[in-house]
Amino acid sequence: MRYPDLDIDLLRCFATVAGQGGFTAAGQSLGLTQSAVSLKIKRLEDILRKRVFDRTSRRLSLTPDGEVLLVYARRLLTLNDEAVRRMIAPPVRGHLRLGVADHFVPQHLAPILARFARTYPDVQLEVEVGRSHELRADCERGTLDLVIGKRRDGETAGTPIWTETLAWVAARDGQLARWTADSGRNAPLPLAMLPPGCMFRDRTLSTLSRANIAHEIVYTSASLLGVIAAAEAGLAVTVLGRSTLTPGLREVVGLPPLGTAEMAIFGDAEGRSALVDPLVGFIRESLAATVALRPAA
């Protein structure tokens, strides 16, 4: 029996719908109408003779077959994009010292940069991961060329590239994950935070204070991985971008919304556009079907 070939265009549409959580959002990301996205998903389901999305609930969700397909779709899209770029992308050469905030999709960053290195072998990329304000200070001192980091509320410096929703998170199986503001708890909400200077820390504390929710910082770590570990262990609640959630974490209900965080490029991006444009484009495309990041306006 000869099996049908899967269309990369259909797989890209499917992965984008799964990543964005709906047909309308996926259409906006792909530059298509909602009906066009729906037709592509229908064609994919006809080829596979299986449903990939459950449309009966109020929230679009993957079917079990869709969950299996998504794993393969992402692998195929990654390989396709890497091969196409390697064959047709214009030659890019140079040396770039890049600082990346640890909040920026940490579980996806290393594989993306590894694929970038394979696609652009003549680019020498040095990467330092750390806290946004410290990396930006290094950039101003000239020890880094560019920084991908957070912009504070009202800030105009840098060139925005991503916007992401912030979320309260705690251990998936822990009691704290079921904390609600009206649960009758007398004890303050325990928090795991980065040290002072972190925008997420400032946003968290000001949001809780405005809502008159008692809280205390019970765990401080200079490493985002340390903060995540404390939350996964059930020690405290923390605040992360939704792309940073690990399998051991879940969102906490009953706490006030935190808004969004904006990632931007700081440094002389225009002067290094020959290197910066391919890198940013590569990151955008790699993440588009994986996490719910939105290109900044």
32-85 tens-digit pLDDT: 999 999 999 999 999 999 999 987 656 788 999 999 999 899 889 888 887 887
User: Domains in the chain, please, with CATH?
Assistant: 8-87 (1.10.10.10), 93-162+262-295 (3.40.190.10), 164-259 (3.40.190.10)
Q: What is the pLDDT of residue 53?
A: 93
Average pLDDT of the residues in 99-124: 81
Q: What is the pLDDT of residue 49?
A: 92
What does the alpha-carbon distance between residue 97 and residue 123 come to, in Å, rounded to a whole number? 11
- Name 240's bridge partners: 167
CA distances from 160 to 149, 253, 279, 297 (A): 9, 29, 15, 8
Average pLDDT of the residues in 14-24: 87
196-251 tens-digit pLDDT: 988 899 999 999 999 999 999 999 998 888 999 999 999 999 999 887 888 889 98
Q: Following DSSP, what letter does each residue of 70-133 receive, concatenated?
A: HHHHHHHHHHHHHHHHHHHSPP--EEEEEEEETTS-HHHHHHHHHHHHHH-TTEEEEEEEE-HH
pLDDT band at 177 (very low <50, low <70, confident <90, very high): low
pTM over 0.85: no
